[in-house]
Chain A
C-alpha cells in the first residue's frame, strides 16, 4: 500500500476521465440524436474504467453488462425504431443552450467546492482484491432482506408494465371491432 498512485495508474485514470468528459460533451453537443446515443457508449465505458481503477471491479463489470450491454442497446434500438429520429434536431433553442450552460457551471462549482471542502477519509492505494466473493456473501447474509425486496420490486415492475400493456391491447381490439362494425354498416348502406 502506498500513498501515491503509480504512473500507469495515473495514465489510465486520465485516459478514462478524458474519454468520459469528451464523449459526454459530444452527447450534449451533437445535433443528431443517433450520434448522441453512440457517444453515450463511450461515456458509460469511461465511468466503468474509473470504477475498476478505484478497486470496485464488480461494480465496473456490472456497469459494462447492464449499462453498455442492456440500457445502451435499448436506447439505440429505441432511437432507431422511432419514426424520423435521424432528422429530429434536438439542439434548436438558444434559451436551452444558455440555461444549460449556466446550470452546468453552477452545478460544477457546487460539486467542486464540496469536494475540496470535505476532509475525506483516505485509505491509500491498495493492490486490487476481487470484491465479488465478499459482495456475494454479504448479499446472502446481512443484506438478504434488501436483496429479496429488490427481487419483489422487479417482479412488480414487470406486472405493472404487463397491466398497462394489456389494457392497451384491449382498447386496440375494441377499436378494431368498432371499425369493423362501421365498415359493415357502410356496405349495407351501399
Chain B
C-alpha cells in the first residue's frame, strides 16, 4: 500500500545548502543557550559561509539533477552561490560591530542573514517553479526583519514595511503567473515547460500563456527593482542599517537576477514570443530614471539606492540580446557589482552613526584630511560604480555593452553609455566632497577589524575583476553553457 513511499537520493549535490542549514541551527542553539558574547554567533556564521564556499568549489564542473528533477547543481548555480556567500561573509564582517552597538543582546541577526543565504542557494539551483517561489520567499522573508532592525528609527520600520508589502505583491504576481503557465502546460518543471513551448507554436498566441509569462516577469522586476517596479527601493535601502543595505544590493539582487537569467536561458529562449522587446524597454527606462533621480540625492545611501536601480538596468542590457555572451556578461556584471557595492556600503557603515545619521554628502566633505586611506578606498568603489578603468565596474560595462553591440542593439548600448556618463556626476561628487571640500565637522571613527577585513575582501575583488577579467569571464561562459541542455 505504501510502495509509493520510497525515496532515494544523495545529498552530496546540496552539500552547501546542508552546511548553511546546519550553521543556522548551531547559531540558533548558541543564541538560545549562551547569554553573552553574541559576536560569537557571527563567527559561527562566518565559519558556515566559509565551509559553504569550500563545498561549492568541490562540486565545480559537475551537473547533478536531484530531488525529482527539482534541483540542478551546475556551474551556473555554483558561481552565483559562491558570489552570494562571499557577499554574506563581507556583510557579517561589516556587521560585527554594528549589531553589537544597535542590537547587542540578539544573535538573530546572523541567523536571519544565513537563512536568506540558504534561500538564495536553493533559488539559484531550483529547476521547478514551486521550489523557485519557496526559496525566493525564504530569501526575502529573512531580509524584511533585518531592514526594520533598528527599531528606534522610524525610517527603518517604514522601509521594512514598504519592502514587506510590495515584496508580497511581487510574490503574488509571480504565483499568479506560475499558476497561469501551469494551467496551460500542466507542469512546473522548467525544462519540461521549455520542451512544450518549443514544440507547440500555438502557444505564441495563447493569451493565458502570455499573461502568465508577463506576470512572472513583473514579479521578478519588483524583486530586482526595475523601473517602474522600483518604488520600494529608496526607502528600504535608506531605512535599513548600512550592512543590511549592502547585503540587499549585492546578494539579494544577484540571486534574484540569477533566477531571471536562468528563466530566460532555460524557458523563455524556447518561447516563440520574443521577450527581448519588453526587456529592452525595461532596461532603457531603468537606466534613465535610476541615474537621473540619483543625481538629485543629497543622502549617500539614498543616492546608492537609485544607483542600484540604474545598475539593474545595465544587467538587463546583457539579457536583451539573448546570446550566450550576453548572459555571461550579465553574470560578470553581477559579480563586479556585488564586490563594489558591498565595499561601498562597508565604508558607509564606518561613517554611519547609531541614530542613522552621518550619511549626507556634507558628512563626507573633507574626509580625506582625517581619514586618507578610507577616502582613497571609497574613491575606488565610486570609480568602479561609475565604470572607470582599471576597476571591475569598467570591465562589466564593457562586456555588457559589447554584447549588446555584437547582437545589433547599438541604440541601447549608446543610450546606456550616455546614462553612465550622467552617473559619473554623482559618483564623482562624493569623491569631490571628500578631497576638495572643507570639513563641516570633525569626523573620528574608531578602527574596526571586522569592517576593515570586509573592505579588503571587496577591494581585492574590484581590482582583480578590473585587471584580470578574462578568467572570471571564462567561468561565466562555462556556467551559462552548463544551463543549456
Contact = CB atoms under 8 A, between A and B. Distances in A.
Interface in A65-113: 113
B145 A160 contact: yes
A159 interface: yes
Interface stretch (A36-44, A137-145, A180-188): A137-145
A21 interface: no
Given A159-B111, A160-B112, A164-B151, A114 B211 contact: yes
Given A141-B4, A159-B112, A153 B134 contact: yes
Interface in A146-179: 146, 149-150, 152-153, 156-157, 159-164, 166-168, 170-171
A146 B189 CA distance: 13
B4 A137 contact: yes
B7 A140 contact: yes
Given A145-B67, A145-B70, A146-B130, A166 B208 contact: no
14 contacts: A117-B208, A118-B206, A137-B5, A143-B68, A143-B130, A145-B67, A153-B134, A156-B112, A156-B142, A159-B28, A160-B145, A162-B108, A163-B149, A164-B148
Nearest to A149: B134
Nearest to A172: B151
Given A114-B207, A156-B115, A164-B160, 5 more contacts: A140-B7, A141-B5, A144-B7, A149-B134, A163-B149
Report, as a range, how many residues of chain A touch the other chain: 20 to 34
A160 B142 contact: yes
A163 B151 CA distance: 10
Contacts of B138: 149, 152-153, 156
Interface in B48-95: 67-68, 70-71
Chain A contact surface mostly: helix
B134 A164 contact: no
B207 A149 contact: no
B141 interface: yes
B245 interface: no
Given A114-B211, A118-B207, A160-B142, A149 B135 contact: yes
Interface in B90-131: 103, 105-106, 108-109, 111-112, 115, 118, 122, 128, 130-131
Given A141-B5, A142-B68, A164 B145 contact: yes
Chain B contact surface mostly: helix
Contacts of B105: 170
B151 A171 contact: yes
Nearest to A117: B207
Interface residues of B, number: 42
B115 A146 contact: no
A171 B154 CA distance: 13
Contacts of A121: 186
B152 to A, nearest CB: 6
B353 to A, nearest CB: 18
A166 B106 contact: yes
A121 B434 CA distance: 66
Contacts of A160: 112, 141-142, 144-145
Contact of B152 (A140, A142, A146, A171): A171
A142 B68 CA distance: 6
A88 to B, nearest CB: 20
Contact of A144 (B67, B103, B109, B122): B67
Contacts of B71: 145
B111 A149 contact: no
B82 to A, nearest CB: 21
Nearest to B4: A137
A12 B400 CA distance: 58
B151 A156 contact: no
B115 to A, nearest CB: 5
Contacts of B6: 141
Given A146-B70, A156-B115, A167 B103 contact: yes
A140 B148 CA distance: 36
Contacts of A164: 145, 148, 151, 160
